[in-house]
């Protein structure tokens, strides 16, 4: 059965995970919000939290439980410093992992930043029919992740398959 349909605007929440950024300095979250809106989707919510496992889980869990949130994109906390906790905070919430997301993101990033991409722990998963994509904190990484992977996978008209058919839409 083909997966492609007409475009369906989704409700997408954006979470910036950072100990240093606020609304005036959050260029990565702002870029994602702008791109999501420009591409015809709706911003369900937008927040900034400190890189703390439990603060991250609190916000993401609330969004996962909300049937009006179809997808969540996070930025930040995917590196190797002691304060990078996004994979540990969010992966336990997944019902299923989207292994291909991190693999494809790093493959595409290799062309942009070379072997430094091995330090990205970008990941994706599904929870309660909500797609979750965790991107690094750099604005360029968010642009790459949205434009070259996530945008098509959250577009019902993209074929042969996309994640819209798996969401609570």
Q: Write down the architecture of domain 11-166 according to CATH.
A: 3-Layer(aba) Sandwich (3.40)
Model-level pTM? 0.95
Mean pLDDT of the region 95-103: 97
Query: Which of the 8 DSSP states describes residue 148?
Result: I
User: Which residues, including other chains, have CB under 8 Å from residue 25's CB and lie 6 or more apart?
Assistant: none
Q: What does the pLDDT look like over 14-68, one tens digit per residue? A: 999 999 999 999 999 999 999 999 999 999 999 999 999 999 999 999 999 999 9
Mean pLDDT of the region 65-76: 98
Question: What residue segments make up the domains of the chain, in order of their start?
Answer: 11-166
Q: What is the pLDDT of residue 87?
A: 96
**Confidence at 160, pLDDT banded by 50, 70, 90:** very high
C-alpha 151/C-alpha 39 separation (Å) is: 8
Q: What does the pLDDT look like over 124-156, one tens digit per residue? A: 999 999 999 999 999 999 999 999 999 999 999
Q: What is the pLDDT of residue 2?
A: 43
Q: What is the pLDDT of residue 5?
A: 80
Strands (E) in the chain, as ranges, are 11-17, 42-49, 71-75, 96-97, 123-127, 130-135
Q: What does the pLDDT look like over 3-12, one tens digit per residue? A: 558 999 999 9
Spatial contact of 10 and 154, defined as CB atoms under 8 Å apart: yes
Cis upstream peptide for 160 (omega within 30°): yes
User: Which residues, including other chains, have CB under 8 Å from residue 19's CB and lie 6 or more apart?
Assistant: 50, 51, 83
Q: What is the pLDDT of residue 1?
A: 37
């Amino acid at each position: 059965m083909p997966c492609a349909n007409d475009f369906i605007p989704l409700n997408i929440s954006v979470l910036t995970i950072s100990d240093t950024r606020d609304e005036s300095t959050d260029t990565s979250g702002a870029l994602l919000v702008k791109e999501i809106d420009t591409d015809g989707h709706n911003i369900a919510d937008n927040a900034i939290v400190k890189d703390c496992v439990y603060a991250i889980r609190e916000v993401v869990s609330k969004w996962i439980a909300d049937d009006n949130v179809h997808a969540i994109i996070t930025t930040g906390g995917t590196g190797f410093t002691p304060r990078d906790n996004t994979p540990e905070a969010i992966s336990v919430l997944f019902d299923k992992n989207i292994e291909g997301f991190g693999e494809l993101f790093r493959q595409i990033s290799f062309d942009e930043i070379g072997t430094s991409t091995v330090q990205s722990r970008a990941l994706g998963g599904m929870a309660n029919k909500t797609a979750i994509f965790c991107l690094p904190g750099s604005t360029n990484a968010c642009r790459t992740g949205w434009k070259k992977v996530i945008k098509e996978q959250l577009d019902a008209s993209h074929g042969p398959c996309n994640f819209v058919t798996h969401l609570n839409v």
